[in-house]
Amino acid sequence: MAQTLDSTPQADGFRMPAEFEPHAGTWMAWPERTDNWRLGAGPAQQAFAAVASAIAAAEPVTVAASTRQFENARSRLPAAVRVVEISTNDAWMRDTGPTFVIDRKGRRRGVDWIFNAWGGLDGGLYFPWDQDDLVAHKVLEIEGADRYRAPFVLEGGAIHVDGQGTLLTTEECLLNPNRNPQLGRADIESLLQRYLGIEQVVWLGRGVYNDETDGHVDNLCCFTAPGEVALSWCNDRDDPQYEISRDAYERLMAERDARGRPFKVHKLPQPGPLVMTVAEAEGVDTGEGAKPRLAGDRMAGSYVNFYVANGRVVMPLLDSRRDRRARQVLAEAFPGREVVGVPAREILLGGGNIHCITQQVPAPRRR
Amino acid sequence: MAQTLDSTPQADGFRMPAEFEPHAGTWMAWPERTDNWRLGAGPAQQAFAAVASAIAAAEPVTVAASTRQFENARSRLPAAVRVVEISTNDAWMRDTGPTFVIDRKGRRRGVDWIFNAWGGLDGGLYFPWDQDDLVAHKVLEIEGADRYRAPFVLEGGAIHVDGQGTLLTTEECLLNPNRNPQLGRADIESLLQRYLGIEQVVWLGRGVYNDETDGHVDNLCCFTAPGEVALSWCNDRDDPQYEISRDAYERLMAERDARGRPFKVHKLPQPGPLVMTVAEAEGVDTGEGAKPRLAGDRMAGSYVNFYVANGRVVMPLLDSRRDRRARQVLAEAFPGREVVGVPAREILLGGGNIHCITQQVPAPRRR
């Protein structure tokens, strides 16, 4: 029995656990819109299926597919992956799915944020987004989890938490007037506290260069353990990413987390720079409803856009000159886990990566 | 982890339990097509919600709704009812949902029959039926139950079993050339044995008069206990139902079940006769894709179209002059259960009743 609650997670004793805490499973969605995914979405579907397989080896995976794609998704995904019908506008479960919260009694609930396609009519990436805004509710019905409908716009990729009171985000995204123009920094902090049970917000500035989400933190910087983060890093002073990463680093050095710890930073090399090829851009259908994909577009590639599953880290393979070093850094940051790479350029072509297309369901447990 | 199996339930040691055996829950679907349900399907939705509520008081209920109706269904159903997105062509979960089978180890699987809208292009009730034919698979994915895809056309409402080897059906439906023209009586019996784990088929002749399903047995006759059935009965020699019910009775008297028992018959009075009013017919949208609804149509009303939930029987209320007697008969036939009546004319207007819109999920248990 699941219902929509009028209270807040904080008031009810719930908190968002860190991604590296134990999972009950993972949700994903199936890509299909041909005005964002080239060649009828086939190459993207292959990449998504590889991600689902890599995670399913570690924990249960459910993939949401529209009824048009149900049979195709079912046939292209391994039997271990559950496929359910959910209509979507696109396949970014991190941003459209619920953010799960847990309490000390082992209960699990979900926060359903208002979704406006990363900026609504003012810079959003497609129109309409009505189906995406229903995804979190539908996931929670299937999970049998009670639901909080948060009264503000947020995407799951815009936040990371350490599970011990600290939240990481960017000013570029959360203070962008195309999300919650009525809310100031203090209002946002207060809402994050109430809906995620956190105590402190660590503000970074801009996200990865040319990131069309308006700088989601999950492409720039994430927790790898309490007191430790991974940060996308660029050594080329002439690259626009250089200043962004350096600013983030300096802010992190100047901050302490909710428990008073300084941050240890694992620097992940930036892949590329990566740009869309003519062949890649030409494979995307033209349509009024979505942001055009153009040859030469600088893509916001980042190794930070990995996913932490039970016992393994699933990382994007994006650049043969950098993949190995990135894998090394992740192996050091996650000593207890296997690091599994999945070719992910086809996901990046659509505007995000492995973290953007996944959403964890925490395992409820007693502390 | 659910997968589609190449074997058969019988070969794997699975059988279909009787509806009166313990349930884990019930599936329903949400009505919306306005060329079958009058006044934008509103009155039907109210009736379906009342049925869902009556069952949810006894066991978990899941309602499948299209994305167009997801929010409306969610708001009109009690919080105890789970709502999930599943596209449909109409709302007859008995006929489009899976038939669950169980084994002695407590496992549960599902049979996914081929569905052709009660006759395909030769007398079927609407076109297309592609979404309905996917419903069973989608239900099984959510239930996490392995699936058998049966190689022939059947609807759940065309069969009833006693859970002890006996299956009840009608010649009018199962031998109708608009279902499986390539299969004779012996072929059908063999397939029913293999896919439902039954041993003996008891053939009745025609179903209820003017039943547009081609005589589904679940509107005419059903098991109430091993060795006992309920039969829709008509005492008016001038009514076309008279001969049908009498023939069924005589066949039952001449038969023995799979364990050699004679049948005890509980006669349920026929309501009405019930005909569609001008106002009712006028409220239905006109469309090429569905059977027209005409004022004066004789409807196939029957009290046999009830549902057996854990601890209660949910029966249709159809005729103030007959409801009480029908309730008495059911109370006698189900001595351990509460009989709950739900006003159901709005369901009958769409072509079926409470049994047609429900599908049980048996509780797996060890024998």
As for the ipTM of the complex, it is: 0.92
**Mean pLDDT (whole number) for A75-102:** 98
pLDDT recorded at residue A255: 97
The pTM score is: 0.95
Chain A contact for B267 (CB, 8 A cutoff)? no
Structure tokens at B92: 């007859």
Contact assignment for B70 to A138 by CB distance below 8 Å: yes
pLDDT recorded at residue A2: 82
pLDDT in tens, B190-247: 999 999 999 999 999 999 999 999 999 999 999 999 999 999 999 999 999 999 999 9
Selected for mutation to probe chain B from A55, A71, A85 (highest B CB count within 10 Å) is A85
Contact assignment for A142 to B84 by CB distance below 8 Å: yes
Whether A367 shows a pLDDT value over 50: the answer reads no
> CB-CB: which of B2, B67, B144 is closest to A134?
B67
Q: Which residues of B touch A138 (CB under 8 A)?
A: 70, 84-85
**Band of residue B155 on the pLDDT scale cut at 50, 70, 90:** very high
Cα of B1 to nearest chain A Cα, Å? 5
From the number of C-beta atoms within 10 Å of its C-beta (0-12, 13-18, 19+), residue A248 rates as: buried
Q: Give percent above pLDDT 90 in chain B.
A: 96
**Band of residue B364 on the pLDDT scale cut at 50, 70, 90:** confident
Chain A contact for B80 (CB, 8 A cutoff)? yes
**Mean pLDDT (whole number) for A106-125:** 96
Paired residues of A111 in beta bridges: A99, A148
pLDDT recorded at residue B287: 85
Please choose, from the candidates B56, B90, B24, the residue with its C-alpha nearest in 3D space to the C-alpha of residue B352. Answer: B90
Q: Which residues of B touch A84 (CB under 8 A)?
A: 84-85, 138, 141-142
CA A2 to mean position of chain CA atoms: 25
Q: Which residues of B touch A82 (CB under 8 A)?
A: 1-2, 141-142, 144
Q: State how far the Cα of A314 lies from the Cα of A339, in Å rounded to an integer.
A: 6
- Tell me if residue A335 falls in helix, strand or coil: coil
How high does pLDDT run on average in chain A?
97
Chain B contact for A134 (CB, 8 A cutoff)? yes
Please choose, from the candidates B15, B17, B19, the residue with its C-alpha nearest in 3D space to the C-alpha of residue B310. Answer: B19
By the 8 A CB rule, do A216 and A171 touch?
A: no
Residue corresponding to tokens 């409470």: B354
Beta-carbon contacts of A349 under 8 Å, excluding residues fewer than 6 positions away, are A37, A38, A44, A276, A280, A293, A299
pLDDT in tens, B85-124: 999 999 999 999 999 999 999 899 999 999 999 999 989 9
pLDDT recorded at residue B39: 97
What is Dmax (Cα atoms) for chain B?
A: 56
How far the first Cα of chain A sits from its last, in Å, is: 24
Please choose, from the candidates B43, B129, B70, the residue with its C-alpha nearest in 3D space to the C-alpha of residue B348. Answer: B43
pLDDT recorded at residue B1: 65
Cα of A86 to nearest chain B Cα, Å? 6
pLDDT in tens, A195-252: 999 999 999 999 999 999 999 999 999 999 999 999 999 999 999 999 999 999 999 9
Paired residues of B341 in beta bridges: B315
Q: In B154-295, where do the E strands start and end?
A: 160-161, 166-170, 200-204, 221-225, 228-233, 264-269, 274-275
- Tell me if residue B292 falls in helix, strand or coil: coil
From the number of C-beta atoms within 10 Å of its C-beta (0-12, 13-18, 19+), residue B21 rates as: middle
Whether A366 shows a pLDDT value over 90: the answer reads no
Please choose, from the candidates A257, A23, A75, the residue with its C-alpha nearest in 3D space to the C-alpha of residue A162. Answer: A257
Give me the residues of B, 86-125, that contact A with CB < 8 A: 86-87
Active-site residue numbers of B?
A: 356
pLDDT in tens, A130-155: 999 999 999 999 999 999 999 999 99
